[in-house]
Structure 1
């Protein structure tokens, strides 16, 4: 094909593990891209035991006939090494200036690479995302609405809120240079939220987040998806650590808005130094306020710490607002 255009080539990064039922549609969507510059597909097959390998080989012929080179890497052992490893390998074996991440159960709209590539040229230190369509449609309505409607500012402020990055992993597009600057995905394997950890490092290094406001990906929801193997507790702990590093370390004191389960859970998850900064819990629930204070029973200290519970009108900022909103869990102000 023609040499790389002004933006260089884009590599589609596709980790695969037992994906036979989705792969045809996924790879078809690579073929259908309307991107006019050079593009390649980099697949890493992580110990699949189904017919994924044959499907990939079959598509390699079709894609290369259409001028899209395909690089295939394999983990031939009996044990998958996990999605962090597979993504890193797919990146290492590829050569594009830009990386377009794709999950084997998702389907790209034809404009995806073109529009995200344009955005990436404008925003070199950003992770570029896009809006998504969920399938089945009703599976995670609130989550989808949240993902698609975050404002530009919220893409950063809500980093603390969500269960995962504000720009979801299967929509990521960024430059190779920036990817290596952040430093690749965690390869801990099952149970590691590798996208969330990468996203935190990205933010810590001054990275930005930009979303192309077009629906460029059909994001499939199914119970076998790897996402469900990451324990809620693991994600909660990473989020609390990140909140402590990025926010609480700069605060001398603060109020936790919610004297119920979520607020107390956050309090107990904080480091002892940050627990000492909590001046009060505040709430609107008369029953909790009448109690007057929360005693931290598990504390080693004598006497045990008692934190006042007051009405939010009497409370002093700054606040950590701690509410259970099904799809989001803490925000701060």
Structure 2
């Protein structure tokens, strides 16, 4: 008996991409899946588009919730998922038709996370070059995109995606939570994930001054939450401090904001480990 895979598709104000995304789910060669479309209080016609797919194939399911952000939407979908294995898929991205099949072949080999090679499309095109996985590299940066397979039991064990991370980086924190106490990762040597790059996206917005502040806010939450992991893998907070120091040096306004009362506790943590 093949295991059930639950694909979780959160959608907020991006209904224009939803058909293209869900078509790649429907085209999977592996058939034992369910796809939960989570409408995160979207003001557009997400409900209308999603319900057409529910009528087309009963494996598609629709869930509406009030707006709570990406982590909240993923958690809501996973909560009702029936599958042992979970695959998040943002509604503007796509997957190759062999992705579920190639991943399922590795489900019995005790991997914590299974992912693949990826390609960008949209306003940028080409192979998405990411560093090979290691725990030390994961401590420096996120090297696994969101559309990777994991067990629902692991999601429960780490209390899901952190809903405090409203400005992004929730994937990085989630992978750290799952892997920090051990576990293997497998990368399929095929391009099975297609990541849409838009002219205006969360990533491009993060390049602004306000975006840098949001990055710092998210990273500070992650650093505080997983101090033991970062210390174990990096030896100290020296690397983290240097990253922040470089960011601060790039913009005096950002420096003033980081020296404000709001960041007093965080600055003390970094200064504690400063050489």
Normalised by the size of structure 2, how large is the TM-score? Answer: 0.78
1:168 match: 145
2:22 match: 27
Q: Distance in 2 between matches of 1:94 and 1:263?
A: 40
Check conservation: 1:91, 1:99, Cα contact below 8 A.
yes
How far off its partner does 1:114 sit?
1.0
Distance 1:203 1:103, change over 3 A: same
Candidates 59, 62, 75, aligned match of 1:88: 75
Report the RMSD for the aligned CA atoms in angstroms.
3.3
Gaps of 5+ in 2: 250-266
- What does 1:120-269 align with in structure 2 at a 5 Å threshold? 120-124=107-111, 126-136=112-122, 138=124, 144-145=128-129, 147=130, 150-151=131-132, 154-162=133-141, 165-169=142-146, 171-188=147-164, 190-226=166-202, 228=205, 231-238=214-221, 240-241=223-224, 244-248=227-231, 251=235, 262=246
Deviations 1:286-323 (A, max 9, x none): xxxxxxxxxxxxxxxxxxxxxxxxxxxxxxxxxxxxxx
Check conservation: 1:15, 1:44, Cα contact below 8 A.
yes
Check conservation: 1:156, 1:209, Cα contact below 8 A.
no
Q: Distance in 2 between matches of 1:255 and 1:234?
A: 17
Is 1:18 the equivalent of 2:18? no
**Segment drifting more, 45-54 vs 218-227:** 218-227
How far off its partner does 1:121 sit?
2.7
Q: Distance in 2 between matches of 1:26 and 1:49?
A: 19
Check conservation: 1:256, 1:263, Cα contact below 8 A.
no
Candidates 102, 114, 121, aligned match of 2:101: 114
1:284 match: none
Which is bigger in relative contact order (C-alpha 8 A, separation at least 6)?
Answer: 2
Gaps of 5+ in 1: 279-333
How far off its partner does 1:31 sit?
0.7
1:281 match: none
Is 1:46 the equivalent of 2:23? no
How far off its partner does 1:52 sit?
1.2
Check conservation: 1:13, 1:42, Cα contact below 8 A.
yes
Normalised by the size of structure 1, how large is the TM-score? Answer: 0.65
Q: Distance in 2 between matches of 1:137 and 1:42?
A: 28
How far off its partner does 1:232 sit?
2.2
Q: Distance in 2 between matches of 1:172 and 1:211?
A: 9
**Segment drifting more, 40-49 vs 234-243:** 234-243
Q: Distance in 2 between matches of 1:10 and 1:255?
A: 38
Deviations 1:72-126 (A, max 9, x none): 1102x4xx211111101111112011111111000111001111222233234x1
Candidates 89, 92, 106, aligned match of 1:102: 89
Check conservation: 1:42, 1:72, Cα contact below 8 A.
yes
**Segment drifting more, 12-21 vs 244-253:** 244-253
2:253 match: none
- The alignment partner of 2:155 has SS state of helix
Pick the structure with more helix per residue: 2
How far off its partner does 1:16 sit?
1.0
